[in-house]
Structure 1
Amino acid sequence: MKKGLIIIVGIAVIVGIVALTCTATVQTGYTGIVTTFGRVEDVTLEAGFHFKSPFQEIILMDNREQKSTFTTEAFSSDIQQVDITGSINYAINKSTAMNLFKEVGTDYFNKLVYPRMLEITKGVFSKYTAENLVANRQNLSESIRAGMHEELNNYGINVISISIENIDFTDAFTDAVEAKQVAAQKKLQAEIEQSQMTMETQQQAERKRINAEAEANVAKINADADAYALQVRSDAEAEANKKIAESLTEHLIRFNEIKAWDGRLPTYMAGQGTTTLPILNMAEQDKAPAESSTK
């Protein structure tokens, strides 16, 4: 009885071992690569439960999107050292997973992706000056991604994105850039102040010119008004004199002369030749005897 039980248990163990060695499970997001005594079979396994020979091994290749970080040093086109920190997102194609395993193996990131990434990153950075690197970070990332795609596409590795997360320069270069920026800001401020002063000077000159033109216009208007008023008065006086002259008659002249006479005769009267005859003032002579009789 005991011997039979031992046989049954032994058979069960053997069956269990065979079952374990003849089945395999491929997880979702992976591709199964089948090898027989180390030789890669021309077949791949999708996610799920599979039977296999006890002499075969199932190697899993991750098809999910993966992310890895990297750090490296590079030099700009003007020979400035740059410390770079970034990351890469990538995935391998299911259809080419077997060929990638044949050519590179499972450690394809360290053997293929990472070295290519460092090489291309340094090449891209060398095309820019140090001052232009920070401003062109997006262009840097896209250029590296394009270079990586060209290098890795034949291996079935899809480079989804490259991100340049940090760019550090040496302290000496950073200080030089800061000094240059300060100098540029001071220069710009001086130019702005000079421009403002020039503008104010021009505005003052323009205001003076406008005021001078306005004063000249006012003076001209006043002069024209005075001349016009004088002309009007002159015309009025001339017209009045004309009317007065037209209204004078000989009788009116004689009347005005008589009206203006004070009753006195001239003392002398011119005669013929050069003889001047005295004219007696009869009023005064009549007045003299009267005064004598009174005395």
Structure 2
Amino acid sequence: MFIAIIGIIILIAGMVIKGSPTPNARYAGVIKIVGIVIVVLGLFSSSVKVIEQGKIGVQSLFGKVQPDILESGLHIIDPVVDVTIFDARTQNYTMSAQTTEGQKPGDDAIRVLSSDGLEVTIDITVLYRLIPSKTPFLLQNIGPDYIDNIVRPVSRTAIRDNAVAFEAVSLYSTKRAEFQARIQKTIATAFAKNGMELQSLLVRNISLPASVKASIESKINAEQEAQKMQFVLQKEKQEAERKRIEAQGIADYQKILSTGLSDKQLQYETIKAQKEIALSPNAKVIILGNGKGAPIILGKD
């Protein structure tokens, strides 16, 4: 539209020059033609609007927002209409203690008080998208700066309001999932009222005070030592049981030998041993006794 306004100015200038007695009056016709061409080009360029992929256009005529939206593609519109572009894709907003992670420079983590009065630092990432059909409402009631007006304050307030229902240690450990579910529900409700859809809420980090961290670490170390001692005691019990079974086996074996072997069986075992010695490839001279003593074996050099 700006180009068309310039063309109108040039056209008016040509008409003024034509009516003046100056020598430049002969150029008035050319100036008017140039002005008309510029006006036409300006009106044409203002009437054609290209919406990029993943974007949405919202029209407003003299400050009044139009209900129809412009989706991605080529559109012919009223040249006097103003078009505000919104991003229709999934967006994320991070608030973190790390100075290079969030949209705001510096430490932007959320510091809250738990039910036991301790200060807890929380880092989160909010994943959301604009509802296309609600973007006219968003422009009319909130404006294009919906991140600072809705996303940021609603998220921080929801986290603070829900954190007071939990103890600090519970937020850090057992109640973390429940806490995340509660703040996600709160934020989703607030976003829906303002033409936005919460897709996911990520609680990226929960930091406890240094004194609480030290207490938790001491407790964990003590539990690990107790588990280690239980393992050692269990191992010692198993070893003692093994030795007891082994000793019982030896005792049973000796009892069987002492009660089950007769003189005839011992004599039979002696003869078997002598036979094996006699069949040995080594040359030996065997002098057998009377069966009451061991045989005399003479090696042959």
Please, what TM-score do these two structures have when normalized by structure 1? 0.62
Which amino acid in the other structure matches residue 194 of structure 1? L
Match of 1:239 in 2: none
Match of 1:5 in 2: 30
Distance 2:236 2:126 in 1: 54
1:63: how far off?
0.7
Alpha-carbon distance change, 131 to 44 in structure 1, aligned in 2, over 3 angstroms: closer
1:91: how far off?
1.0
Alignment partner of 1:199 is 2:243: no
Alpha-carbon distance change, 218 to 78 in structure 1, aligned in 2, over 3 angstroms: farther
3-state SS, counterpart of residue 155 of structure 1: coil
Match of 1:31 in 2: 56
Alpha-carbon distance change, 146 to 131 in structure 1, aligned in 2, over 3 angstroms: closer
Which amino acid in the other structure matches residue 164 of structure 1? V
Distance 1:122 1:206 in 2: 63
Would the aligned equivalents of 2:57 and 2:84 in 1 still touch at CA under 8 Å? yes
Match of 1:148 in 2: 187
* Among candidates 188, 193, 197, match of residue 158 of structure 1: 197
1:182: how far off?
2.0
Would the aligned equivalents of 2:59 and 2:84 in 1 still touch at CA under 8 Å? yes
3-state SS, counterpart of residue 84 of structure 1: strand
Which structure has the highest helix share of the two? 1
Match of 2:138 in 1: 100
Which amino acid in the other structure matches residue 230 of structure 2? E
Match of 1:238 in 2: none
Match of 1:170 in 2: 209
- How many residue pairs get aligned? The number is 225
Would the aligned equivalents of 2:59 and 2:68 in 1 still touch at CA under 8 Å? yes
Match of 1:117 in 2: 155
Alignment partner of 1:46 is 2:71: yes
Would the aligned equivalents of 1:80 and 1:130 in 2 still touch at CA under 8 Å? no
Distance 2:252 2:206 in 1: 63
1:195: how far off?
2.6
Match of 1:277 in 2: none
Unaligned 5+ runs, structure 1: 227-295
Which amino acid in the other structure matches residue 53 of structure 2? T
3-state SS, counterpart of residue 191 of structure 2: helix
1:81-113: CA deviation from partner (whole Å, max 9, x where unpaired): 322222122111212222222332222222222
Match of 2:126 in 1: 88
Pairwise CA RMSD: 3.3
Would the aligned equivalents of 2:57 and 2:86 in 1 still touch at CA under 8 Å? yes
1:186: how far off?
2.0
Distance 2:240 2:248 in 1: 12
Distance 1:143 1:105 in 2: 28
Distance 1:100 1:128 in 2: 37
1:129: how far off?
4.8
Would the aligned equivalents of 1:77 and 1:130 in 2 still touch at CA under 8 Å? no
Alignment partner of 1:73 is 2:111: yes
Q: Which segment drifts farther, 16-25 or 42-51?
A: 16-25
Would the aligned equivalents of 2:43 and 2:79 in 1 still touch at CA under 8 Å? no
3-state SS, counterpart of residue 58 of structure 1: strand
Distance 2:168 2:242 in 1: 43
Alpha-carbon distance change, 217 to 151 in structure 1, aligned in 2, over 3 angstroms: farther
Which amino acid in the other structure matches residue 111 of structure 2? E
1:25: how far off?
3.6
3-state SS, counterpart of residue 42 of structure 1: strand
Identity %: 20
Distance 1:220 1:75 in 2: 81
Match of 1:133 in 2: 172
Match of 2:277 in 1: none
Q: Which segment drifts farther, 124-133 or 95-104?
A: 124-133
Which structure's CA Rg is the greater one?
1
Alpha-carbon distance change, 175 to 140 in structure 1, aligned in 2, over 3 angstroms: same
